[in-house]
């Protein structure tokens, strides 16, 4: 972790309530978005912005912080790929095991919106495996919010 990233993290932890859940959500979205990007600067975050507005309805500050954290994580994942995918998966898994309440933040309806058909076969497979991992993590934590996905099918 660079000094800049560390300082931003410390600053956010001090001044943002419920920072852990916001950061967890950001890590999840970065993990599913990263395979569809060549670089963080070339990533299209329009869909993520819409989802941020839905999640953090009237809190523009939180929306902005969320988008920035996702962009930072995407950049880190892409810079250190493929090892960073494994690290992010392990980190998410450890966080869910340590705090089952975080699994509520895994919303498969939102996650599935990022699955793309126009990617290479390897990147599609990576995205699909990430989505399957996230769905399994939310199920293991008995997260009822994601059952809506199965009922709507």
Per-domain residue ranges of the chain: 3-152
6: pLDDT strictly greater than 60: no
10: pLDDT strictly greater than 70: no
Q: Which residue has the higher pLDDT, 66 or 142?
A: 66
Q: Which tens digit of pLDDT belongs to each residue from 83-122?
A: 889 999 999 999 999 998 898 889 999 999 999 999 999 9
Q: Specify the pLDDT at position 138.
A: 87
Q: Which tens digit of pLDDT belongs to each residue from 49-73?
A: 999 999 999 888 888 889 988 998 9
Q: Specify the pLDDT at position 144.
A: 53
Q: Give the whole-number percent of the chain exceeding pLDDT 90.
A: 52
Which residue stretches of the chain are H helix? Answer: 3-15, 19-33, 46-55, 60-79, 83-98, 108-112, 121-140, 147-152
Residue 38's pLDDT band, with cuts at 50, 70 and 90, is: confident
Distance CA 116, CA 119 (A): 6
Distances (CA, A) of 147 to 26, 38, 65, 93, 143: 22, 33, 28, 20, 8
Distances (CA, A) of 92 to 1, 67, 119, 120: 17, 18, 24, 25
Q: Specify the pLDDT at position 120.
A: 93
């Amino acid at each position: 972790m660079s000094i800049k990233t560390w300082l931003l993290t410390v600053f956010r932890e001090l001044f943002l309530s419920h920072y852990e859940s916001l950061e967890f959500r950001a890590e999840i979205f970065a993990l599913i978005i990263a395979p569809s990007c060549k670089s963080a600067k070339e990533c299209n975050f329009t869909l993520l912005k819409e989802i941020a507005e839905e999640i953090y309805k009237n809190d523009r500050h939180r929306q902005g912080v969320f988008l920035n954290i996702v962009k930072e994580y995407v950049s880190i994942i892409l810079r250190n790929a493929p090892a960073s995918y494994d690290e992010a998966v392990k980190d998410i898994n450890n966080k869910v095991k340590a705090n089952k309440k975080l699994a509520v933040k895994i919303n498969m309806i939102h996650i599935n919106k990022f699955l793309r058909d126009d990617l290479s076969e390897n990147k599609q497979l990576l995205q699909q495996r990430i989505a399957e991992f996230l769905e399994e993590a939310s199920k293991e934590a008995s997260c009822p919010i994601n059952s809506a996905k199965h009922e709507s099918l």
